[in-house]
Structure 1
Amino acid sequence: MRQTGTRKYRAGSASRRIMFYSHDTFGLGHLRRSRALATALTEDNDDTSAIILTGSPVAGRFTFPERVDHIRLPGVTKLPDGSYVSQTLGLDIDDTTSLRAGLIQTAIEQYEPDLLIVDKEPTGFRGELLPTLEWLRLRGRTRTVLGLRDVLDEPEVLTAEWERKGALQAAENLYDEIWVYGVRDIYDPTEGLPMSDELRNRIHWTGYLRREVTDEADAPTDPYVLITPGGGGDGATMVSLVLSAYEQDPDLSPNALLVYGPFLSGDVRDAFDARVAKLNGRVTAVGFDSRIESLFAGAEGVVSMGGYNTFCEVLSFDKRAVIVPRIVPRLEQWIRASRAEQLGLVRMLDETRDGLTTDAMIDAIRNLPNQSKPSQAGANGLLDGLEVVKKRAEMLMNGAEGQ
C-alpha cells in the first residue's frame, strides 16, 4: 500500500508549484491536455506556477501563458514493430530512457513541486518515472495525481498492458488520487482493471476539459468546414478521403480549411498540397496552427479524427462534427466516437458500418447542417473538468485528502 505518513509542506508560503509529466511519444494529445490544465491551475493565482515535462518535438511551437513553462525531454519514436528509438541523439533506447529519467529527477528535485500530475502512464515511458515517484513518496511533501483521459483502450487490452508495465502496482502505491477527465456515465476507462476498493475510492471524475479561444488565428472570412487530423501522424487516410470528396463533387460546400498537423509531412503532404492546389480555393491547407481553438470557433462544422482534445473542442465550441476514428493501434478513438454518437453528440463515419468511401464522406459533409449541435444533447453539462481539477488540486495542496 502507498505510504501516507506526515507530509512536509512549504510552511508559511502562499506560492504553489505544479509539475506535469507528459511522456509524448506520439502526437499532440498529452502535451495539449497538460497545457490546458496548467493554464487553468495558474490563471487565478499569481503565486502559482507550473512546468510541463514533455517529450513532444513541437512543444516550442506552442505559446504558454505567464507562469507556465516546459522542459523538453529527449524525444523517442515508435516504430511499426512497436519498438522505440531515439529521435535525434543516436543513443539506444535504454540510454535515452536513462537520460530522460535523470532529467526528470533533477527537474523535480530543483523545482520542488507541491503537486505532480502525470498524464496517462502511471510508470512513465518505459518505467522512467518510477525512481522519481518512489523518491517523492519517501520524501513525503509532493502530492501525486494520475490523470487519465476518458477512454484508454479495450478493457482486456488495457489490463494486459498495465500488468506488463507494473502500472496497477504503481497506481496503488504511488499516487494520492486518480483524475479521470471524463464522465463515468459515458465511459469508464478503468473498467476491467483489478483495482483494489481503496484505489477506486481515490478516483475522481472531473468531466471533460472545456477549451476557449486564447489566441486569435487567421481564419477564413467565408463559411468553412474545419478538417483536422490532430497531430496528423496517422491522419493521411482521413485527409485523402476529404480531398477525394471535394474532387469528386464540384458542388460540395462549404469550402474546407485543412490543418494537416505537425506530423503529417514529407512526400505525403507534398502530394496532398498538389491536390489542394487543383481545387482552386475550395480547400485551403496549412501545416500546423497552435491556435486551433480559434479555427474551431469560426467553423460551420468539423471533420476530424477522434482524439480526446479534438472531442473536447467539438463540445466546447458546440460544433456539428463528423468523427473518423482510427482503430489501430488502439480502439480508443472508436470507443469514444461510438459512445458519443449514441448520445447524439457527433456523427461517426465507421469503416465497417459506413465504409470509408468518397461517397460516404460527401454525404457526411453535406449532412453536417442537418445534425444536432452537441449542446442539444446536453454537452454543456459534460464540460466541468477544469473547475473540478482546480478544486481537487487546491484540496490536495492544502493537505485535504480523499474529500
Structure 2
Amino acid sequence: MAERVQDGRAVRNQPRRLSGTGAAGSGRRIMFVSSNGTGLGHLTRSMAIARRLDPQVESLFITLSRAAPVVRELGFPVEYMASHGSVGAGSDFLWSRRTAARLRVAIAEAEPSVLLFDGILPYDPLLAAMKQVPVTVWCRRGLWQRGASTAPLTRSDLFDAILEPGEFAADADSGPTSSRRADAHQVDPIVFLDDSELLPRDEAARELGLDPEKPTILVQLGQGAEVAAATDRCLRVLAGQDDVQVAAASSALAGLLDVPEGIVHLHSTYPMSRYYAAFDGAVAAAGYNVFHELIRFGVPTLFVPMRRETDDQPARARYAAEAGVGLAVDGPGDERIGDRLGELLDADRRAAMKERLQELRQDNGAAEAARWLEQLGQLRGAEGRGEKAAEHGLRGGFSPRLRDGEGPSRRAARRPVRWGSPARAWVFVRTLPKTLVRLVGQTISLPRLRTLILAFGASEAEILEEIETAAAPPNRVLVVTDSLAIGEVWRAGTGVEHIPGPGERQAELSGVDYDEFRRRRLDLILAHRPRPPRVLEVGNRH
C-alpha cells in the first residue's frame, strides 16, 4: 500500500496478492526452518525456493522471526516460535529445552522428507530435533566478514548437505566460507520473483501513487538509529530536485522528526521488487536479498552498507561499484553520500549502470535449488546411499532414516550418533565459562511471568484490551494466540507465542482433533516456565 500526501489528500493503493505460492501436496513434504529476528532475509530465500517446488511437494514453515505473518499471507502454513532472549522466554537453557521439545513434536507430526534451515547459526534445539528427518540441509549464504566467528561452521557436519545461494560479489569473498565452497551445492543468487511477475512501469507506478513520466528514486535503507540520519540526508538531497519524485517506506520515515514535503510514503509493500519497474534508481542497504533483487532487475543503486556481525555488506557494495553496476559509500555515516546521490541523479550515469547490469545478469537460482531439494527428498533407504547420494551433493556416509513401513523393518532406523568434531568440542570448552555466567545472570535477573493471556479466536483489539486489563508490566505478560495479525501486540512489548489455528495444516497433520492439538501445543509452550499467578482468556475458541 502507498500513501502520497499531495494537495491535502492521501492516495492509497493495495498491491495485488501474489500467485504461485505452491499448493499442499499429498506426497513428499519439505520443512523450512529459519532463525530469529524481525526481518525477512532468511524467510525470503526459503519462500523463493518453496514457491518453485513441484505442486506435489508440500511446504511447511517454522520460524523464530516475527515476520511469520508475511509467510502466512503468501499462502504457506507457518508456525511461529519465540526466539531466545524474547520477552518471557526465560534463560537460554530453559528456552532450548522447551524449543527442542516443540520442534521434535512438530517434525514428528509433519514427517518431512527434507528439512532446510536458513540462518547463520544452527541453534541447539534444532540440531537436537532434526535427527529424525531423513535429509537435512543448511542453506548457508557466503560473503561472511573475514573476522567473523567460525564457530557456526563447526556444525556443518551435522547436516547432510549445504546449499550455498550464489553471490554476485563472490570474487570479493575472503571470509571463512569462501574456502568451503567445494562442500556446498552452489546455485545462482536466489531472488523471490521471476521477471514475469514484475508489474509494468505504468501499472507499478499507478499502484504506488507515482507519476510514471517522472524520474523516480526509491530510498530503501531500513530502520534504526544508525540509518535515520542517512535516510534524512538522502531525502533532503533528493527532494530538492524539481524533476525527481522520491518514495520511501513509512516505517523508515516514522523515525524522522521532519519529512520533506512531497515524499511518497510506501506502506507494507512486500515484495517491493514487484514494483521495481516504477523506479529509475534506488538508495539501499547491501544485504543479500535487496542487493540481488536490485542487481537482477536492473535498478541502478547507491548501496549504503550496514554494520552486521557476519554479513560483509561493505564488500558487496564495493564490488558493485567496481563492476560498474552501482555506486557505493562506506556506510550510513559516510560524508560522500551527497556526492554519490549526484551521480545517481545523472541520467547518463544511470544508463551506463543499466547497460552493465544487463551484461552481467545472472539467472535466478531459486528454481535450481527447488529441483535439487526435490531430488534429495527422493533419496531414501538404500537408493540414497553411496554414489547416487554423492552426485546430489550429500556428504560421504549419508544414510537417511527409513520411515515406518519402508525397507525390511517397519521400525524407523535412527541416524547414527555423531559425537562431534574436535573443532566443535573446542568451541564448547572455550565458551563454557562465559555461557555459565550468562545463564546464572539470566536466572537471577530475568523478570518472572505474572500474567498469561490465552487469546484464541480473538482480534488484535481484544488482545490489546486484555493486556491493559492485566495491569502488569509488559515484560511479565505472555500472550498465547492462534493469530498472527498481531503487529501491535508485538509492539506492546509482551511475550508472544503462537499455536496454529483450527483448519491449519499443522493441526491437520497432528492426527488428533483440534482441541487436543491445541492442548498439546500449549503444554509445550508453558513447559519450563513458572506458573503464572493470573490467567486471562479472550476470544471465542476456548
Give the distance between the partners of 1:32 and 1:227, measured in 2 at CA.
20
Listed as ranges, the matches of 1:166-177 within 5 Å are 167-172=152-157, 174-177=158-161
3-state SS, counterpart of residue 170 of structure 2: coil
3-state SS, counterpart of residue 108 of structure 1: helix
RMSD: 3.2
Give the distance between the partners of 2:311 and 2:358, measured in 1 at CA.
25
Query: Which ranges in structure 1 are unaligned for 5 or more consecutive residues?
Result: 1-12, 77-84
Give the distance between the partners of 1:379 and 1:142, measured in 2 at CA.
41
CA 64–153 in structure 1, closer or farther in 2 if over 3 Å, else same: farther
* Number of equivalenced pairs: 347
- Aligned partner of 1:360 in structure 2 is 339
Contact persistence 2:165–2:190 (CA under 8 A): yes
3-state SS, counterpart of residue 289 of structure 1: coil
Listed as ranges, the matches of 1:41-190 within 5 Å are 41=53, 45-62=54-71, 64-66=73-75, 68-76=76-84, 85-86=85-86, 88-89=87-88, 91-124=90-123, 127-133=124-130, 135-136=131-132, 142-154=134-146, 157-158=147-148, 161-163=149-151, 167-172=152-157, 174-183=158-167, 186-187=170-171
Q: Is 1:295 the counterpart of 2:275 in the alignment?
A: yes
3-state SS, counterpart of residue 145 of structure 2: coil
CA 345–362 in structure 1, closer or farther in 2 if over 3 Å, else same: closer
- Aligned partner of 1:34 in structure 2 is 46
Give the distance between the partners of 1:376 and 1:21, measured in 2 at CA.
36
Shift of residue 232, structure 1, vs aligned partner = 5.8
CA 360–327 in structure 1, closer or farther in 2 if over 3 Å, else same: farther
Describe the superposition over 1:149-191 as per-residue Cα deviations: whole angstroms up to 9, x where unpaired.
242222xx23xx233xxx333212x222211111487248685
TM-score, with structure 2 as normaliser: 0.57
- Aligned partner of 1:259 in structure 2 is 249
Partner amino acid, structure 2, of 1:46 = P
Describe the superposition over 1:30-75 as per-residue Cα deviations: whole angstroms up to 9, x where unpaired.
122222222122xxx3221111211221321455544x22111114
Contact persistence 1:20–1:118 (CA under 8 A): yes
From 158, 181, 184, the equivalent of 1:203 is 184
Contact persistence 1:144–1:177 (CA under 8 A): yes
Query: Which ranges in structure 2 are unaligned for 5 or more consecutive residues?
Result: 1-24, 380-387, 392-542
Contact persistence 1:241–1:356 (CA under 8 A): no
Partner amino acid, structure 2, of 1:72 = Y
3-state SS, counterpart of residue 22 of structure 1: strand
- Aligned partner of 2:514 in structure 1 is none
3-state SS, counterpart of residue 247 of structure 2: strand
CA 347–368 in structure 1, closer or farther in 2 if over 3 Å, else same: farther
Shift of residue 305, structure 1, vs aligned partner = 0.5
Contact persistence 2:71–2:77 (CA under 8 A): no
TM-score, with structure 1 as normaliser: 0.75
From 277, 280, 285, the equivalent of 2:261 is 280
Q: Is 1:313 the counterpart of 2:293 in the alignment?
A: yes
Partner amino acid, structure 2, of 1:227 = V
CA 184–358 in structure 1, closer or farther in 2 if over 3 Å, else same: closer
Give the distance between the partners of 1:194 and 1:180, measured in 2 at CA.
11
Listed as ranges, the matches of 1:189-268 within 5 Å are 191-192=175-176, 201-212=182-193, 218-222=207-211, 223=214, 224-230=216-222, 235-246=227-238, 250-251=240-241, 253-261=243-251, 264=252
CA 94–233 in structure 1, closer or farther in 2 if over 3 Å, else same: farther
CA 243–206 in structure 1, closer or farther in 2 if over 3 Å, else same: same
Shift of residue 313, structure 1, vs aligned partner = 1.2
3-state SS, counterpart of residue 128 of structure 1: helix
CA 185–311 in structure 1, closer or farther in 2 if over 3 Å, else same: closer
- Aligned partner of 1:402 in structure 2 is 390
CA 230–171 in structure 1, closer or farther in 2 if over 3 Å, else same: same
Shift of residue 357, structure 1, vs aligned partner = 4.8
Partner amino acid, structure 1, of 2:271 = R
Give the distance between the partners of 1:16 and 1:129, measured in 2 at CA.
21
- Aligned partner of 1:79 in structure 2 is none
Shift of residue 351, structure 1, vs aligned partner = 4.5
Contact persistence 2:249–2:266 (CA under 8 A): yes
Contact persistence 2:298–2:357 (CA under 8 A): no
Shift of residue 363, structure 1, vs aligned partner = 1.4
Contact persistence 1:18–1:116 (CA under 8 A): yes
CA 360–338 in structure 1, closer or farther in 2 if over 3 Å, else same: same
Give the distance between the partners of 2:77 and 2:64, measured in 1 at CA.
14
3-state SS, counterpart of residue 294 of structure 1: helix
What is the percentage of aligned positions where both structures have the same residue? 20
Partner amino acid, structure 2, of 1:56 = S
Partner amino acid, structure 2, of 1:95 = L
Q: Is 1:15 the counterpart of 2:27 in the alignment?
A: yes
Contact persistence 1:210–1:383 (CA under 8 A): no
Give the distance between the partners of 1:280 and 1:169, measured in 2 at CA.
52
3-state SS, counterpart of residue 264 of structure 2: strand
